[in-house]
Amino acid sequence: MAGETLEPTQTDEPTIPWHRLPVNKETLIGYASVLPVLILYFIIAIGPVAYAVNASFHDILLLNPQWEWAGLGNYYEVFALETFWASLWRGIIYMVGSTLIQLAFGLWLALALNKITRAQKFLTAVVFTQYLIPTIVLAFAVSYMFTPNIGLGVLQNLGSGVLWGADTAPLTFSQTWAMPLLILVGTWKFGVFITIFALAQLRAIPDRFYEAAQICGANRIQMFRDITLPRIQGVILVAVLLRSIFMFNKFDIIFVLTQGGPGEATTTLPILAYQTAFTGGNYGLANALAVVMFLFLAIGAVTYFILFNPSEEVETST
């Protein structure tokens, strides 16, 4: 693996008078080793956020990027925008809805898979396939499954006349069904995220805990409450935080399946920011949206940490 890039960790450099320098050699090599990460991180994370903050104070048209100072104008516009509040609300519905269903589904699955010994490799493969399959591929398949009157439209066909009318347009174009469909697809794809997290933790709980409880006459609900739950709750709180963040930021599934439509029925903040920048060409406003999104998320995450403190957990000591 390309030797040159590893140079910072080399130590044999007799020409440098280490004993006369104010820093310790160890420290310097240590910092050098994380330098590439730091540089990348600044280029891709800190840099763009600073750039976005700067851009949000300007009026910029994407086709003719002349930066005109606008002060807080873009922010006034964002908060006055009716679509902003509506999109925020829809984003919250999408985030909370899909995270809760993912949690229920993922946890149920983890508890069921935990003690199954047969076909474990196959079952695990199914779990990982859901996690690894490209989102866009899934979105294509789902959009065809919900297209009426074609041979591929199996699910639209199965539900027609039962859940929705026989002549309904594709569900992705339905005011009522588009959002539930997106939540469902998100659950299919990401519910296993919680499963995998929880499963790793569940497998670490020694059987004798349950045996002891059994001898004492505990039933399964009591065992779950007193043995299982305390040991997985830390990891679940972390997984829920991560999933909430990811679902709030979700762009690809929504954009590919509905593009925020029909009308604005599934326009969440990421979709709104994208459309503002690249369809509407109002780059300054889009950056203000991105900054506001980021701030909301940061506040949400910090609040979550204060309320639940996910790093607290019961250690399973042998």
Partner 1 sequence: MSTDTPSDTDGIFGLSYRGEKKLFARLKQISAAIFVVVGVFPVYWMLQASLTTRERASSGIVSWIPTAETFTLENYEVLTNPDVALYVINSIVVTLGTIILVVLVSLIAGYGLARFNMPQKENFARFLLLGYLFSPIVLGVPLYLIWQNLGLLNTRLGLIIALTAISMPFAVWLMWKYIQTVPEAMEESAWVAGASRWQGFRDIVIPQTQPAIIAAALFAFALAWNDFTFAQILLPSNEASTFAPGVFRLIQRGYDIARVDVMAVSMAMTLPPLVFAYFMQSYLLKGFQIRSL
d(CA 3, CA 40): 19
Q: Taking CB under 8 A as the rule, which mask of x and - marks residues 201-240 in contact with partner 1? A: ----------x--xxxx-xxx-------------x--x--
The verdict on 123 binding partner 1 (CB under 8 A) reads yes
Which of 88, 92, 101, 144 lies at the binding interface for partner 1 (CB under 8 A)? 144
The verdict on 124 binding partner 1 (CB under 8 A) reads yes
Compute the least distance from the CB of residue 318 to partner 1, in Å: 16
Which amino acid is present at 247? Answer: M
d(CA 56, CA 53): 5
Nearer to partner 1, 127 or 179 (CB): 127
* Residue ranges in the chain assigned as alpha helix (H): 25-41, 47-56, 73-80, 82-114, 120-132, 135-145, 154-159, 178-202, 207-215, 220-223, 229-248, 252-257, 269-274, 283-308
The verdict on 200 binding partner 1 (CB under 8 A) reads yes
Task: Name which of residues 77 to 116 contact partner 1 (CB under 8 A).
Answer: 108-109, 112-113, 115-116
Which of 126, 163, 229, 314 lies at the binding interface for partner 1 (CB under 8 A)? 126
d(CA 265, CA 233): 34
Structure tokens at 110: 């983890």
The verdict on 153 binding partner 1 (CB under 8 A) reads yes
Residue 281 CA from chain centroid, whole number = 27
Binding-site residue total for partner 1 (CB under 8 A)? 106
Q: Taking CB under 8 A as the rule, which mask of x and - marks residues 34-73 in contact with partner 1? A: x-xxx-xx-xxx-xxx-xx--x---------x--------
- Binding part of the chain for partner 1, among 79-87, 94-102, 151-159, 164-172 by CB under 8 A, reads 151-159
Structure tokens at 237: 């709180």
Nearer to partner 1, 9 or 15 (CB): 9
| Angle of CA points 72, 76, 80, to nearest 5° | 170
Task: Name which of residues 284 to 303 contact partner 1 (CB under 8 A).
Answer: 286-287, 290-291, 293-294, 297-298, 301
Which residues make Cβ contacts (< 8 Å) with residue 149, sequence separation at least 6? none
Which of 197, 228, 231, 260 lies at the binding interface for partner 1 (CB under 8 A)? 197
Q: What are phi and psi of 12, to 5 degrees?
A: -80, 80
Judge contact between 87 and 272, C-beta under 8 A: yes
Handedness of CA 289, 294, 299, 300 (dihedral sign): positive
Nearer to partner 1, 209 or 251 (CB): 251
Judge contact between 88 and 269, C-beta under 8 A: yes
Residue 235 CA from chain centroid, whole number = 16
Which of 79, 149, 165, 303 lies at the binding interface for partner 1 (CB under 8 A)? 149
Task: Name which of residues 158 to 177 contact partner 1 (CB under 8 A).
Answer: none
The verdict on 21 binding partner 1 (CB under 8 A) reads no
Partner residues linked to 58 by β-bridges: 69
Compute the least distance from the CB of residue 179 to partner 1, in Å: 19
Compute the least distance from the CB of residue 169 to partner 1, in Å: 16
Compute the least distance from the CB of residue 80 to partner 1, in Å: 20
The verdict on 27 binding partner 1 (CB under 8 A) reads yes
Task: Name which of residues 244 to 273 contact partner 1 (CB under 8 A).
Answer: 245, 248-249, 251-252, 255-256, 270, 273
